[in-house]
């Protein structure tokens, strides 16, 4: 049988934890072959449905019955999808917790989506980079628990050239300037002596100023901008700035609850449903109606937020490494129309995840263990990670009485 998708061996840059990743297959507690709308690229779809190609009879039958072309605006990469089992929400090709396509006809016959997951690989300014999405339990364990997970290394990877995303020069900046900015932002988020929310506040100020420089509203010069912010951090000016940032727990609780609640009833698996139900219960929701008193919500959230550092004592890198992973995956701050827009995306995801972690930390006598914390991250990524959160946040802001978010700083203090 001929090769469907060619792979190349390339040298790539990636966080150290990526080099340790191996799919654990049937041993995975939350398989990636369930609970998703699995996209199939056009090349793979045409191969699966080609009457001239030989496949094992059982597999050929599944190809005929269980994949369909997208009804709305199919693209080359998202041309078709698998029709999941309506009872289990499993992919139709999942058999005994293994992929029948991979098992019976080989890895090269997998769609690009299935071949890549949980890997996210791109070509940035001519260089290959890879990270993993933390909706995979094994990836989350490797990324969030090890101190050296985000030391960067180079190594050989097998990639499909056709499936690489490509990022070239943006906003009129040189290659060196883009690399300097990415490195600075990453180093900023690893600054010792500042809480993670404090680092995020400084990062937001940097992104705003970067946008102003690029628009010509501030003195030109990326080098000057980097030097000025380095001085702000090293001189202690950042600490003075942070002292003026006051928490608004009521706003945080109501906003993040509103966002969380939009997806509460869409877990798409029993284990994720258990997690969402436990969060609702911890927040004080009525077990019959699901309704929640706003005052109880705010008080419960504050209590959980207070207990969260103790809950995270076993996993001291969890939130920092989550943010670092998102930044590298986003090619931060070049992953949106502006640096500040990319920043808001990071803040929104961080805020919802911290809300969920705080909810399971409400009871100081029964704090979540390492496994429960990791599972919360995985469930968050499964349910919320792949949505465009901008529209959800705009709707949520209106619900809590705000027209729009002028700045995100009030969402961050803990």
93: closest CA among 77, 72, 113, 71?
113
Task: Please list the helix, strand and coil fractions of the chain in percent, rounded to the nearest 5, in that order.
Answer: 50, 10, 35
Quote the pLDDT of residue 21. 97
Quote the pLDDT of residue 121. 96
pLDDT tens digits for range 39-80: 999 999 999 999 999 999 999 999 999 999 998 889 999 999
Please indicate whether residue 214 or residue 267 has the higher confidence score (pLDDT): 214
Query: What's the token pair of residue 274?
Result: 């258990």
Determine the longest span between alpha carbons in the chain, in angstroms: 70
The whole-number average pLDDT for the span 122-127 is 91
Please indicate whether residue 262 or residue 173 has the higher confidence score (pLDDT): 173
User: How many C-beta atoms lie closer than 10 Å to residue 27's C-beta?
Assistant: 9
User: How many C-beta atoms lie closer than 10 Å to residue 101's C-beta?
Assistant: 23
Q: How sure is the predictor about 199, in pLDDT bands with cuts at 50, 70 and 90?
A: very high
C-alpha distances (whole Å) from 414 to each of 193, 247, 248, 362, 383 are: 15, 7, 9, 14, 24
Rounded CA separation 324/49 (Å): 41
Contact 125, 169 (CB under 8 A): yes
Query: What's the token pair of residue 211?
Result: 């946008």
Quote the pLDDT of residue 397. 66
Query: What's the token pair of residue 12?
Result: 């790539």
| DSSP-based three-state secondary structure for 407 | coil
> Left if phi > 0, otherwise alpha if psi is -120 to 50, otherwise beta: which for 73?
left
Across 27-36, 116-125, 385-394, least confident range: 385-394
Do β-strands 165-167 and 119-124 pair in parallel, antiparallel, or remain unpaired?
parallel
Percent residues over pLDDT 70 in the chain: 93
Quote the pLDDT of residue 291. 78
Percent residues over pLDDT 90 in the chain: 67
Long-range contacts at 399-402 (CB < 8 A, ≥ 24 apart):
399/254, 399/258, 400/251, 400/254, 400/255, 400/258, 402/251
The whole-number average pLDDT for the span 361-375 is 96
Q: How sure is the predictor about 132, in pLDDT bands with cuts at 50, 70 and 90?
A: very high
41: closest CA among 64, 69, 65?
69
Rounded CA separation 235/229 (Å): 10
The whole-number average pLDDT for the span 144-162 is 96
Quote the pLDDT of residue 363. 95
Rounded CA separation 348/298 (Å): 18
Rounded CA separation 47/274 (Å): 39
Quote the pLDDT of residue 270. 79
- Crossing angle of helices 196-215/222-235, nearest 10°? 150
Residue 395 has pLDDT above 80, yes or no: no
Contact 181, 333 (CB under 8 A): yes
Long-range contacts at 57-66 (CB < 8 A, ≥ 24 apart):
58/100, 59/93, 59/100, 59/101, 59/104, 59/105, 62/92, 62/93, 62/100, 65/92, 66/92, 66/93
Quote the pLDDT of residue 391. 66
Contact 298, 359 (CB under 8 A): no
The whole-number average pLDDT for the span 337-366 is 93
Quote the pLDDT of residue 142. 98
Residue 274 has pLDDT above 80, yes or no: yes
pLDDT tens digits for range 94-119: 998 899 999 999 999 999 999 999 99
Residue 400 has pLDDT above 70, yes or no: no
Phi, psi (degrees; rounded to nearest 5) at 409: -65, -35
The whole-chain average pLDDT of the chain stands at 90
Quote the pLDDT of residue 152. 97
Residue 290 has pLDDT above 70, yes or no: yes
User: How many C-beta atoms lie closer than 10 Å to residue 96's C-beta?
Assistant: 7
Quote the pLDDT of residue 139. 98
Residue 83 has pLDDT above 60, yes or no: yes
The whole-number average pLDDT for the span 320-329 is 97
Residue 129 has pLDDT above 60, yes or no: yes
Please indicate whether residue 342 or residue 1 has the higher confidence score (pLDDT): 342
Ranges of beta strands (E only) in 199-261 are none
Quote the pLDDT of residue 271. 78
Name the one residue in this structure whose structure tokens are 């089992």: 85
Query: What's the token pair of residue 321?
Result: 């490494």
Quote the pLDDT of residue 269. 77
Contact 321, 171 (CB under 8 A): no
Residue 399 has pLDDT above 90, yes or no: no
Phi, psi (degrees; rounded to nearest 5) at 240: -65, -45
Please indicate whether residue 193 or residue 324 has the higher confidence score (pLDDT): 324
The total number of residues written for the chain in this structure: 414
């Amino acid at each position: 049988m001929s090769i469907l998708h060619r792979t190349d061996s390339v040298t790539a840059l990636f966080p150290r934890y990526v080099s340790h990743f191996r799919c654990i297959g049937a041993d995975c507690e939350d398989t990636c072959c369930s609970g998703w709308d699995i996209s199939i690229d056009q090349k793979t779809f045409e191969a699966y449905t080609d009457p001239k190609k030989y496949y094992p009879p059982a597999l050929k039958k599944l190809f005929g019955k269980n994949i369909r072309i997208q009804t709305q605006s199919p693209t080359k990469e998202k041309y078709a999808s698998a029709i999941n089992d309506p009872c289990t929400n499993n992919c139709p090709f999942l058999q005994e917790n293994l992929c029948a396509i991979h098992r019976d006809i080989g890895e090269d016959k997998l769609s690009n989506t299935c071949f890549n997951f949980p890997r996210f690989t791109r070509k940035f300014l001519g260089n290959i980079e890879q990270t993993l999405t933390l909706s995979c339990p094994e990836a989350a364990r490797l990324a969030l628990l090890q101190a050296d997970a985000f030391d960067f290394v180079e190594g050989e990877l097998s990639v499909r050239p056709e499936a690489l995303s490509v990022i070239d020069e943006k906003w009129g900046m040189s290659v060196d300037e883009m690399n300097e900015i990415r490195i600075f932002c990453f180093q900023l988020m690893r600054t010792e002596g500042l809480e993670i929310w404090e680092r995020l506040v400084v990062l937001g100020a940097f992104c705003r100023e970067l946008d102003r420089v690029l628009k010509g509203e501030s003195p030109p010069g990326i080098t000057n901008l980097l030097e000025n912010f380095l001085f702000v951090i090293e001189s202690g000016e950042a600490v003075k700035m942070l002292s003026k940032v006051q928490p608004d727990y009521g706003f945080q609780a109501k906003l993040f609850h509103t966002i969380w609640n939009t997806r509460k009833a869409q877990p798409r698996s029993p284990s994720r449903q258990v997690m969402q139900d436990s969060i609702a219960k911890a927040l004080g929701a009525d077990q019959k109606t699901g309704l929640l008193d706003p005052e109880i919500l705010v008080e419960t959230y504050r209590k959980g937020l207070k207990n969260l550092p103790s809950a995270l004592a076993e996993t001291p890198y969890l939130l920092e490494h989550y943010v670092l992973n998102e930044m590298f995956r986003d090619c931060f701050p070049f992953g949106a129309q502006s640096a500040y827009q990319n920043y808001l995306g990071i803040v929104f995801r961080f805020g919802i995840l911290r809300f969920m972690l705080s909810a399971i930390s409400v009871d100081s006598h029964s704090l979540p263990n390492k496994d429960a914390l990791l599972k919360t991250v995985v469930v968050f990524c499964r349910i919320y990670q792949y949505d465009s959160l901008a529209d959800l946040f705009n709707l949520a802001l209106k619900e809590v009485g705000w027209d729009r978010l002028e700045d995100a700083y009030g969402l961050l203090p803990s």
